[in-house]
Amino acid sequence: MNKELQQFITAEILPQYDGFDAAHQQDHARKVMDESLVLAVNYDVDVDMVYTIAAYHDLGLCEGREGHHLASGRIMRSDKRLLRWFTPEQIEVMAQAVEDHRASADHAPRSVYGRIVAEADRNIDIDVIITRTLQYGLAHYPELDSEGHINRALQHLNEKYSRNGYLKLWIPGSKNERKLHQLWDLIDNEAAIRQIVEDKFTQITSHPQ
């Protein structure tokens, strides 16, 4: 990988995540970057492009969560500093991949780069998912009481991660696919998933960051 590009992203791009919610800090961006590089070894792709797409994928959160994927694409297209390492054609492919990463997207990613970052962004870990969901609710819906936050989290889990949820995976046979099937079974058990959410809510609110 290009060391100068890595230094640029570390110094200029990743610190922007410090201003986002607890679920989208630098650790999230770095995790998506690392996982993207792991997935990339299975494809004939430019690893510098993969690395940069992952770094930029959530920058649009500066404009709010709704439509952040499109805002991230605009940010990438307008960042002329990237011309130091990439052609305009490569930047367009990367911007499209950023736009296509969102779990609720109504279309498949337009390139293998989009499939990679979308898959890397799918962290199918029940503890992480519930924690992030509750943290987002606490930050954006302060008017809700404890029961309201718990019910909101359960609704989100059902809408996104259940058998009929909108989350889509684009790399068949991935570890995420196996974990998602396990999560389906857990969500099917309403009493069990509610208890897990209630316990996590108590943990988060008893030890706020």
Q: Give the CATH fold of the 3-121 domain.
A: Hypothetical protein af1432 (1.10.3210)
Along the 209 residues of the chain, how does pLDDT read in single tens digits?
999 999 999 999 999 999 998 778 999 999 999 999 999 999 999 999 999 999 999 999 999 877 899 999 999 999 999 999 999 999 999 999 999 988 666 688 999 999 999 999 988 889 989 998 999 899 899 999 999 999 999 999 999 999 999 888 888 888 889 999 999 999 999 999 999 999 999 999 997 65
Alpha helices in the chain (DSSP H): 3-8, 26-40, 47-56, 68-78, 88-99, 112-121, 126-140, 146-161, 175-188, 190-206
Give the contacts of 154 (CB within 8 A, at least 6 positions apart): 193, 194, 197
For the chain, what are the domain ranges? 3-121, 126-206
